[in-house]
Structure formats: structure tokens, C-alpha cells
Amino acid sequence: MKIAIAQQNYHIGNFARNTQHIIEAIDTAKAAGADIILFSELSICGYPARDFLEFDDFIYQCQQSLSQIAAHCDSIAALVGAPERNPNLKGKDLFNTAYFLYEGKVQQAIHKTLLPTYDVFDENRYFEPAYEWNIVHFKGKKLAVTICEDIWNLGDNPLYRICPMDELMKQQPDVMLNLSASPFDYTHDEDRKATIKANVLKYKLPMFYCNAVGSQTEIVFDGASLVFDKDANLCGQLPMFTESLQYFTLREDGSIDAPILEPASRVPDKELTPHGLEAELNIAQIHDAIILGIQDYFGKMGFQQAIVASSGGIDSAVTLALAVRALGAANVRAILMPSQYSTGHSVDDAVQLSRNLQNPYDIVPIKNIFDQFTTELQPLFGNLPFNVAEENIQSRVRGNLVMAIANKFNYILLNTSNKSELSTGYGTLYGDMAGGLGVLGDCYKLQVYALARYINKDGEVIPENIITKPPSAELRPGQKDSDSLPEYDVLDPLLYQYIERRQGPNEIKAMGFDAALVDRVLRMVNINEYKRNQFCPIIRVSPKAFGVGRRMPIVGKYLS
């Protein structure tokens, strides 16, 4: 049996585009002699559709697209994903469904059983779990079809009370096929591979796994679809972060007519999530994920050009470099806005960066505007000393200027705040926290430096002085980040333990972190939830990103 895997990038709710994309892959695979083609989870509507699923018209359009696609499945079968109405009045109104299409019509509907409701997932909000399990009969083979989470309920601490594959094994299937929309994070690639291998080892069946690719606002799907033979050898891996259509032949004995990429003995057996922050971990993947996140945010929203506030610091430099790689130099405009507290070398560094990148830039000094603000406020401020109020005025002046330019020329402002700053509240609402998309908001400062080094791996793009100088907001004379925050090589691993690994204060202190520092940092994280709640969407690259995947009360008292 010749099986095609179509790893495609879908646009949520863009039924015409998604349907055409799926049909083109079906026609291509048909011409190549494939027997069946496998698509990803909820491919017709895109994943995650969220509350679009509550609209009857949205479901109607899914079904209309399904009919169009089925008409092309005459001599080839297809497995595509779409929501399906639940005819039973009891339970949720929809099923998350894999449709088996053949001979021009829907032959069978397979419902997802395990509905994740954690991190970025909220499927129990919309879908009813499956209550029956049946294999698909096709060309003398028995196909065990599952959907994403259905194959993840393995290990010593299963999250669910049932394993769909256990039920399907009662019907003696020959092969497993899985439709997935499994998001990227920098620990997930090997973890996913290990999970699929564990299924193969448990059930002694080959596995064809199709994952979505593309970015949906904050969530990036990396593709990396997989094929394992019955002996758990990796025989196919589609590329990360790009669309791909590949073919594999399943032999009668369960082997696969493809070279072994990794023998079973070398495929990871367990999750490789680090126990501490390893800044260099999979930095190339993080780089590629962010670029895809920028590209799809702009492409799917119909935007073309970005603007970045370029300060001569590491965060804006990395953001600018990534934006240029994603959108092209001509489509990214840098705005330098020095104040009287900006150092000359910062301006020079920012200019050199744009010259290296060959992107347009402008210099708009803010001293006169800042002075006007302080003059008008003097009757209210009186003789009170210069403090954070005046510092934040500078940041908000810059925010106003860059947003004015964005409005005038139809740019989207890319925010440059990193995860260390967002964690601790080291940023100004309506100032440097303004923006349409958070490019580095899921990267700790140490990871930002690692990205800078990776960007420079083939030659200097980001001037070395930007990488080596002490980080500073430059809002007062001689200011350094370390005046307000611990050194990042101490702060970032501490934050990682609290945010990504959800370790409590006692556990973190037991790791050797200073007790007073732990209490101080955790308090900063929790009292600044109100700032993060007003922040723009962040491109997710970690196992626990701010935004939809981390839901904390703003007015909570815990550890604050």
C-alpha cells in the first residue's frame, strides 16, 4: 500500500484556500499512484479554530468543503480532519473527526477520544469524546485511525482513563495512522518521536503520523511528520517548519520500503525536557520557529511591512534581524529614538546593524518631546526627584512615535520584550510593551544572546558590541539592567524553574538559589500579571509560554 503524507499549512477559517490546498495534494498523490493520503487534524478548518466552532455557519462551511474534497477521492482514499455535529442531544455539540473519504464520498467518521484541556489546548470546551472505536477496512488492510492526543496516553502517569488504541487492537489492525496538530516547543521534537515509538513498541504495528505545519498567531506547528515501521525503526521524517508531500510503501509484512533513518535503538525512549534552562538547546529550531511565526502572522493577516524600535540593545537587534529574515530587508523599517540618556555607541550600533541588514532606518530624537512633557507636568510634579515616572515618559514617547509611524504607513509594530523582562515586569505599559506581535516574549535573555550568536554564525550581522556590552534601558545616566534585576545567568534559570517546571519556592531554594532572591523574584512574577495580561500575542517556543497557555489570576495573593 502506497501511503502519502501531506504536511500542510492551513489558514483558520479560510475554507476556499484550505480546500484547494487539500485537493491539490490529493490530485498530486493520485497521479503518483498513492492508495491513500493522510492529512493533519482539523485540516479543513485549521487548528485551533476556538470559538469559531460555536457558529453554525462555520460548521456548515466545513461540511461543504468536505463534500468538495470527497469528490476528488475516487481512485484514492483520504483521511482529512474537520468538526462533525453530534446528533445526540446529550454532550457537546461537536466531535473532532477524521473523515475517511473514498469512491467520492465519506465512508467512515472516526472521532477523537482524548480531548486535551491544558496549556494551549481547550478541546473539552467544544468537543464530545468518542464512545465507540472501529477500524477502517481498505484494500485488504485494517487501519487504526487516531487523532493527535489519542496516542499520548502512555507512561507511568496517564492523563486519561482510556487508550483508544487498546480498543482498536481488539479488531486486529495492520497499521496505525494518526492525524495531528501538535505544537512546537524546543523540547517537543524528541519527546514526540519517543511517544510515537512507544506506541509502535506497545502495539507492534507501523505508524504513519501527519502533523500540521505553520503558525496560528502564537502557536507554531513544526510539521516533522513521522513514519515508523513495526520494529520501531524511524523510516521517514518530513522537514520541520515547511510544507511537504512524501510517499511511503507499506509492505505486506509491516515493513516499510524506505531506508532506516534511525534504528529503534537510537530513537529516544523518554522525554528530553531539560531540568534547567539550557540557553543553547535547539536554538536553530527556535530561530526557525520565530521566523515562521512572523511570516504567517503577516501573511495570514494580510500585512506586509513591519516596524521595530531599534535601540542598539540586544533585544531590538535580534528582533530586527529575525524580522528581516522573515519578511525581507525592504519590508522592515527601524526607528532609532535616542534621548539625552542614550549613549553614542548605542546609536552607532543600531545604525551599523541596519547597514549590515540593509533595511531602511530613521533617527527621531526624543529629547525635545520629553522636555515638553516634563515642562507641562512640572506644576504637578513640583520638586519631586527624577524617578521611574520620568523614565517611563521616555518609553511612552517612543511608543507613541513608533505607533504614529506605523499608523501612517500601515506597518505592524514588532515588540522586542524578552521573557525575563515580561516575567519580572521590567517594561513600560504603552511604551516598550506596545506592539502587534511579541517576537522574543517566550525567550529568556540568555536565549536572546544565544539567538544573536546563532544569527552571527556565518558572519557578523549583529555588531559584536551589541552582544558584549552590559544590557541597559538607558532611561537615566549610567543605568544597567542589573540595577533592577539579578544577573541574567542567575535570574533566567530561576524563572525557568518557576514558570516552565512549576517548582515552588522551597524546591527552588533547595536547588541552591538564594532564599531572599527566590522570594523577591517570585513576587515580581506574580504581581506583574496585570502587565502581561495587556501584552500582545507572543510566538510560543517553550513548554510554558505567557498568554493562552499560562492562565493566572491578576488579583491573586499567592507568593506576592
Q: Which of 30, 41, 45, 235 is catalytic?
A: 41
In angstroms, rounded to a whole number, what is the distance separating the alpha carbons of residues 305 and 324? 10
- 112 is an active site residue: yes
Q: In what order do the strands lie in the sheet with 361-363?
A: 361-363, 332-336, 306-309, 412-415, 437-438
Is 55 strand, coil or helix? coil
Q: In what order do the strands lie in the sheet with 105-111?
A: 105-111, 94-102, 77-85, 36-38, 2-7, 244-249
- 148 is an active site residue: yes
Alpha-carbon distances, residue 66 vs 384, 483, 490 (angstroms): 67, 59, 53
Feature table: binding site for deamido-NAD(+):
392, 421, 531
CB of 180 closer than 8 Å to CB of 114: no
**3-state SS of 365-422?**
CCHHHHHHHHHHHHHHHCCCCCCHHHHHHHHHHHHHHHHHHHHHHCCEEEECCCHHHH
Q: Which of 148, 235, 443, 536 is catalytic?
A: 148
Feature table: binding site for ATP:
309-316, 416
- 464 is an active site residue: no
Feature table: binding site for L-glutamine:
118, 182
Q: Which of 30, 112, 197, 445 is catalytic?
A: 112
Feature table: binding site:
118, 182, 309-316, 392, 416, 421, 531
Angular region, 296: left φ>0, alpha ψ -120 to 50, beta rest: alpha
With CA atoms as reference, report the closest residue to 23 among 138, 110, 101, 111: 101
With CA atoms as reference, report the closest residue to 262 among 204, 182, 197: 197
CB of 211 closer than 8 Å to CB of 182: yes
In angstroms, rounded to a whole number, what is the distance separating the alpha carbons of residues 428 and 400? 12
**Which residues have a catalytic role annotated?**
41, 112, 148
